């Protein structure tokens, strides 16, 4: 039992953090916002040079072949620096989908292009009403509902009709995508596609959750800096207890969201039976931390926090929108209800957190009630 | 990261589970806030000690099982899952015991720890005073050095179960010219020493949960001083760290409560679902208990790799105390009008839990004080 990261994982995280600190400084991001595409090819190329785009690409496809856990720390940094989301959708979610294709499948050719930074992918997952970065992509992965499950389709932008939509978060570039499923665009049928889409949804949810923790941490850091220099009543406001307590509560929420997040990444990587519960828990706990952080940060910034000029808004908005991406609160709490209150083998109680086969099977009077619910649902 | 238990850890779990299955009292014990219940709990913990389970992390020669932190977490999971009795001597074992382990001389360890593990001696904590609650550095009870003795005078208050306990560990001002956290000494005192008066205070549940302790020229041997004379604050802060941090409230306790809450909800679902926010609170209770557990395992992993845990312990204190309120409050909402009934056994268990949960944000350093610590020591903000 070792619930910590290796020194290598931490060192890699630190190097990515140092890189983003200069290359994705808030003033640079604001410049990028003002461009038509909202994206910087130079920044993208530099990120690829760092090896981030090929992190999950299998070694046979010119990548580093890293696993889900390796993203747990990096995605927090991506959130901390509010890096535009095409990176995570391409390098983590889409790479996961393409790597799941059988060896020799033509679409796998995109993997090495992604690793080198020459291909962007937009993912039209059904939990998201819109498609992020569709207007600025090389390839789109889209879902088509069928009786046997969600088919996986691969399209190029010229095969779709893409209508840009504006988001309150200026770094987000969303679109509505209209397209027609054809035999030529189909990559996987419903039965196989469903599995790939399911896992993509879990990865997307965790990517959003991890970024929200990073965002919360950034908002906390910005707030600590601000209250340590802003004076009222001849004192820095950071010396006032009401202000201190707002920040202390942020610390607590952030620190107790992180281990939940790590546990969920592990569950995903090891395809554990409880992974839906673990991932929804992580999404909810991280979104709570980030919403709470944005609320309290804005409060301690006073009117400054309500301005466009102060950087806080960049991180707050990202936290607000990621909350609803890849399954909103209602979606994830419904999954928890399902997994915890309607399942005869719910991971509830002491000893159910890890290594579930060793957890004691316990008789619960609730079991009868669960059966009733199950019958009700079936009826 | 490897989140599987080793074969040795699994074997330990199996062994503990089997022992608990055979030994946990079939009849529920009476409240340890009554004389009879207190003695029942003492007997139970003596039985635990016989198996090396009353203080599992202590070395074997001092009455423990020599477990590491992960095994401790496993032990606690089994303990709470088995619905074994709540621990009556945790002030002794967890707070004072951990302190003696760190600051005691070899003689003090041998003299106090095995007896503590067996519950031969039950301990009360004597820190708070009428004018030194949150502001513990305002302690005014005195210890006057006379050769190889201290003479104690003054008053302590809110000392949990002091009316039944055998000993008290307390902080006394040993340097009369000192102020604040300087010049304090950490001294162990037998409660049957002449000059001591223990007066019970009834708590919110009507029982004599805590007490005032009056010291009137009480003589105690200087051998009972823990750590250096005048350096008691430093020793006490280490104790406070144990209290707030990992040890005092193991996560399994809340996981078990959350599990019972889920069970209570499922059995009363038709009624509870009249208010959909109840189901949401049940889910949040599970999430909180699970997050607390995961955080504890994460901390244990970091400690195993040599990390030091400092002011972060304060976040723990806030989390478990607020979680306890959420769990018990939600149970009260599910029970509805049954919740107040003292003779309804199931309802009364929750009611007792609800009442005790109210004290969580106050004792072990109030949550406001914890927030001050987080802001000032973790975030580096200035004192007001
Ligand atoms: C059930 C229970 C068991 C206990 N058992 C023991 C025991 O065994 N031994 C023992 O020694 N003590 C014990 N205590 C006492 C406990 O440690 C004190 O109650 C606690 O330290 C708070 O002190 P106080 O009650 O004097 O409250 P006060 O210090 O008077 O505080 C009252 C309120 O003011 C707030 N406050 C005070 N100072 C500040 C500040 N600087 N900033 C912000 N807010 C502040 C507090 O947070 C609190 O909300 C117990 C208490 C309870 C409730």
**CB-based contact A247 B379, cutoff 8 Å:** yes
pLDDT tens figures, B9-45: 999 999 999 999 999 999 999 999 999 999 999 999 9
DSSP type of residue B85: P
Residues 6+ apart with CB under 8 A from A103: none
Count of beta carbons in the 10 Å neighbourhood of residue B340: 12
**CB-based contact A245 B371, cutoff 8 Å:** yes
State the pLDDT confidence band at A371, using cuts at 50, 70 and 90: low
Please report the pLDDT score of residue A110 as a whole number. 98
| DSSP helix, strand, coil percent of chain A (3-state; round to 5) | 60, 10, 30
**CB-based contact A352 B267, cutoff 8 Å:** no
Beta strand spans in B127-195 (E): 142-146, 149-160, 167-173, 184-190
User: Which of A26, A148, A139 shows the shortest CA–CA distance to A82?
Assistant: A26
Pairing status of strand A186-188 against strand A131-132: unpaired
User: Which of A287, A91, A312 shows the shortest CA–CA distance to A208?
Assistant: A287
Residue in chain B nearest A264 by alpha carbon: B294
Please report the pLDDT score of residue A164 as a whole number. 96
Examine the pLDDT at B332 and tell me if it is beyond 60.
yes
How far is CA A160 from each of CA A135, A165, A196, rounded to the nearest angstrom?
A: 10, 15, 22
State the pLDDT confidence band at A46, using cuts at 50, 70 and 90: very high
pLDDT tens figures, B237-255: 887 776 667 888 999 999 9
What's the rounded Cα separation, in Å, for the pair B194 and A105? 88
Helices (H) and strands (E) counted in chain B, each on its own, are 13, 8
Q: What is the mean pLDDT of residues A23-28?
A: 96
User: Which of A267, A245, A255, A225 shows the shortest CA–CA distance to A69?
Assistant: A267
Is residue B205 in contact with ligand 1, taking CB distance under 6 Å?
no
Examine the pLDDT at A378 and tell me if it is beyond 50.
no
Is A138:A109 a contact under the CB 8 Å cutoff?
no
pLDDT tens figures, A262-305: 999 999 999 999 999 999 999 999 999 999 999 999 999 999 99
What tokens were used for A41? 């090819």
Helix (H) or strand (E) segment spanning residue B283: helix B276-304
What tokens were used for A52? 């981030």
Residue in chain A nearest B295 by alpha carbon: A259
Half-sphere exposure of B24 (CA within 13 A, CB side): 17
What's the rounded Cα separation, in Å, for the pair B186 and B149? 14
Q: What is the mean pLDDT of residues A170-180?
A: 96
pLDDT tens figures, A60-87: 999 999 999 999 999 999 999 999 878 9
Say what the alpha-carbon torsion angle A55, A57, A61, A65 is, to the nearest 10 degrees: 70
State the pLDDT confidence band at A365, using cuts at 50, 70 and 90: low
Is A115:A54 a contact under the CB 8 Å cutoff?
yes
Of residues A4, A260, A362, nearest to B1 (C-beta): A4
Please report the pLDDT score of residue A369 as a whole number. 52
**Which residue puts its alpha carbon closest to atom 1 of ligand 1?**
B359
Residues 6+ apart with CB under 8 A from A104: none
Helix (H) or strand (E) segment spanning residue A171: none
Residues 6+ apart with CB under 8 A from B306: none
What residue has token string 């959350």?
A: B258
Top residue of A69, A72, A231, A248 to mutate, by most chain B CBs within 10 Å, is: A248
Active site residue B243: yes
Q: What is the mean pLDDT of residues B141-154?
A: 98
Is A213:A172 a contact under the CB 8 Å cutoff?
no
**CB-based contact B375 A245, cutoff 8 Å:** yes
What's the rounded Cα separation, in Å, for the pair A141 and A119? 13
**CB-based contact B295 A333, cutoff 8 Å:** no
What's the rounded Cα separation, in Å, for the pair B125 and B169? 5
Please report the pLDDT score of residue B308 as a whole number. 84
Residues 6+ apart with CB under 8 A from B193: B218, B219, B220
Examine the pLDDT at B329 and tell me if it is beyond 80.
yes
DSSP 3-state of B162 = coil
Please report the pLDDT score of residue B96 as a whole number. 94
**Which residue puts its alpha carbon closest to atom 26 of ligand 1?**
B133
What's the rounded Cα separation, in Å, for the pair A80 and B139? 45
State the pLDDT confidence band at B311, using cuts at 50, 70 and 90: confident
Helix (H) or strand (E) segment spanning residue A174: strand A174-179
Half-sphere exposure of B250 (CA within 13 A, CB side): 23
Say what the alpha-carbon torsion angle A259, A254, A323, A225 is, to the nearest 10 degrees: -150
Check CB contact of B3 with chain A, cutoff 8 Å.
yes
Is B312:B351 a contact under the CB 8 Å cutoff?
no
**What radius of gyration, in Å, describes the C-alpha atoms of chain B?**
21
Identified catalytic residue from B45, B76, B243, B312: B243
**What radius of gyration, in Å, describes the C-alpha atoms of chain A?**
22
Is A260:A313 a contact under the CB 8 Å cutoff?
no
pLDDT above 90 covers what percent of chain A? 92
What residue has token string 């699970």?
A: B290
Please report the pLDDT score of residue B248 as a whole number. 83
Classify burial at A186, counting beta carbons within 10 Å of its beta carbon; exposed 0-12, middle 13-18, buried 19 or more: middle
Is A121:A107 a contact under the CB 8 Å cutoff?
no
Global confidence as pTM: 0.95
Please report the pLDDT score of residue A13 as a whole number. 97
How far is CA A353 from each of CA B7, B80, B86, rounded to the nearest angstrom?
A: 17, 14, 22
State the pLDDT confidence band at A361, using cuts at 50, 70 and 90: very low
Is A56:A17 a contact under the CB 8 Å cutoff?
no
State the pLDDT confidence band at B289, using cuts at 50, 70 and 90: very high
What's the rounded Cα separation, in Å, for the pair A263 and A261? 5
Of residues A240, A255, A351, nearest to B384 (C-beta): A240
What's the rounded Cα separation, in Å, for the pair A341 and B283? 9
When the pLDDT of each residue in chain B is averaged and rounded to a whole number, the result is 95
Is A322:A174 a contact under the CB 8 Å cutoff?
no
Examine the pLDDT at A374 and tell me if it is beyond 50.
no
Half-sphere exposure of A93 (CA within 13 A, CB side): 29
Is B109:B63 a contact under the CB 8 Å cutoff?
no
What's the rounded Cα separation, in Å, for the pair A272 and A202? 12
- ipTM for the predicted complex comes to 0.94
Please report the pLDDT score of residue B241 as a whole number. 74
Q: What is the mean pLDDT of residues B284-312?
A: 93
Helix (H) or strand (E) segment spanning residue B221: strand B210-221
User: Which of A131, A282, A141 shows the shortest CA–CA distance to A202?
Assistant: A282
Half-sphere exposure of A211 (CA within 13 A, CB side): 30
What's the rounded Cα separation, in Å, for the pair B148 and B224? 10
What's the rounded Cα separation, in Å, for the pair B120 and B381? 46
What's the rounded Cα separation, in Å, for the pair A51 and B75? 43
Residues 6+ apart with CB under 8 A from B325: B357, B358, B360, B361
When the pLDDT of each residue in chain A is averaged and rounded to a whole number, the result is 94
What's the rounded Cα separation, in Å, for the pair A231 and B266? 53
Is residue B216 in contact with ligand 1, taking CB distance under 6 Å?
no
What's the rounded Cα separation, in Å, for the pair A117 and A91? 9
Is residue B366 in contact with ligand 1, taking CB distance under 6 Å?
yes
What's the rounded Cα separation, in Å, for the pair A217 and A207? 16
Within the 207-246 window of chain B, which residues sit less than 8 Å (CB to CB) from chain A? Answer: none
Q: What is the mean pLDDT of residues A149-172?
A: 96
């Amino acid at each position: 039992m070792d619930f910590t990261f290796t020194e290598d994982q931490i060192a890699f995280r630190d190097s990515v953090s140092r890189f983003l600190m200069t290359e994705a400084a808030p003033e640079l991001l604001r410049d990028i916002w003002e461009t038509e595409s909202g994206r910087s090819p130079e920044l993208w190329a530099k990120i690829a040079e760092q090896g981030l785009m090929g992190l999950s690409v299998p070694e046979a496809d010119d990548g580093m072949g890293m696993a889900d856990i390796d993203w747990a720390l990096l995605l927090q940094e991506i959130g901390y620096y509010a890096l535009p989301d095409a990176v995570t959708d391409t390098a983590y979610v889409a790479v996961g989908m393409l790597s799941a294709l059988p060896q020799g499948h033509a679409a796998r050719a995109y993997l090495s292009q992604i690793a080198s930074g020459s291909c962007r992918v937009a993912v039209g997952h059904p939990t998201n009403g819109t498609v992020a970065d569709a207007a600025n992509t090389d390839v789109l992965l889209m879902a088509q509902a069928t009786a046997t499950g969600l088919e996986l389709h691969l399209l190029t932008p010229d095969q779709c009709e893409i209508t840009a939509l504006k988001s309150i978060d200026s770094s987000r570039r969303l679109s509505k995508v209209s397209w027609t499923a054809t035999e030529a665009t189909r990559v996987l049928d419903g039965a196989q596609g469903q599995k790939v889409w399911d896992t993509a949804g879990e990865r997307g949810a965790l990517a959003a959750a991890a970024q929200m923790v990073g965002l919360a941490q950034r908002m906390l850091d910005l707030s600590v800096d601000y209250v340590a220099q802003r004076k009222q009543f001849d004192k820095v406001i950071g010396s006032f207890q009401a202000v201190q307590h707002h920040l202390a509560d942020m610390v607590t929420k952030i620190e107790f969201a992180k281990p939940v997040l790590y546990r969920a990444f592990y569950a995903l990587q090891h395809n554990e039976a409880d992974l839906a519960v673990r991932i929804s828990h992580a999404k909810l706990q991280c979104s709570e931390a980030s919403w709470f952080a944005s609320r309290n940060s804005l409060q301690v910034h006073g009117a400054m926090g309500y301005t466009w000029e102060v950087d806080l808004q960049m991180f707050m908005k990202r936290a607000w929108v990621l909350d609803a991406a890849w399954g909103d609160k209602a979606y994830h709490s419904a999954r928890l209800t399902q997994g915890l209150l309607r399942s005869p083998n719910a991971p509830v109680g002491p000893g159910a957190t890890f290594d579930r086969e060793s957890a004691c099977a316990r008789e619960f009077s609730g079991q009868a009630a669960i059966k009733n619910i199950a019958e009700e649902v079936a009826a | 990261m490897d989140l599987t238990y080793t074969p040795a850890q699994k074997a330990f779990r199996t062994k503990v589970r089997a022992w608990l299955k055979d030994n946990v009292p079939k009849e529920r014990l009476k409240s340890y806030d009554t004389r009879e219940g207190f003695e029942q709990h003492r007997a139970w913990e003596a039985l635990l000690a016989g198996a090396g389970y009353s203080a599992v992390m202590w070395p074997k020669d001092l009455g423990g099982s020599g477990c590491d932190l992960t095994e401790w977490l496993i032990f606690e999971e089994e303990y709470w899952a088995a619905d074994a009795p709540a621990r009556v001597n945790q002030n002794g074992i967890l707070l004072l015991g951990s302190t003696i382990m760190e600051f005691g001389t070899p003689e003090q360890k041998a003299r106090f720890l095995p007896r503590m593990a067996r519950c031969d001696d039950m301990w009360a904590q004597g820190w708070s005073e009428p004018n030194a609650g949150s502001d513990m550095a305002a302690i005014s009870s005195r210890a006057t050095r006379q050769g190889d003795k201290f003479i104690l005078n003054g008053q302590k208050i809110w000392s949990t179960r002091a009316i039944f306990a055998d000993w008290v560990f307390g902080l006394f001002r040993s340097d009369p010219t000192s102020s604040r956290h300087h010049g304090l000494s950490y001294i162990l005192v037998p409660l049957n020493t002449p000059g001591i008066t223990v007066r019970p205070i009834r708590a919110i549940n009507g029982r004599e949960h805590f007490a005032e302790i009056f010291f009137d020229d009480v003589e105690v041997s200087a051998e009972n001083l823990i750590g250096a004379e005048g350096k008691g604050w430093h020793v006490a802060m280490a104790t406070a760290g144990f209290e707030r941090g990992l040890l005092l409230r193991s996560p399994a306790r809340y996981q078990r409560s959350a599990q019972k809450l889920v069970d209570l909800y499922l059995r009363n679902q038709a009624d509870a679902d009249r208010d959909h926010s109840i189901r949401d609170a049940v889910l949040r209770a599970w999430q909180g208990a699970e997050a607390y557990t995961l955080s504890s395992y994460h901390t244990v992993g970091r400690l195993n790799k040599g990390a030091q845990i400092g002011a972060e312990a304060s976040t723990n204190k806030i989390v478990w105390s607020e979680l306890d309120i959420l769990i018990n409050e939600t149970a009260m909402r599910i029970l509805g009008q049954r919740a107040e009934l003292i003779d309804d056994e199931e309802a009364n268990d929750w009611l007792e839990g609800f009442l005790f949960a109210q004290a969580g944000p106050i004792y072990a350093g109030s949550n406001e004080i914890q927030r001050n610590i987080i802001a000032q020591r973790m975030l580096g903000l200035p004192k007001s």
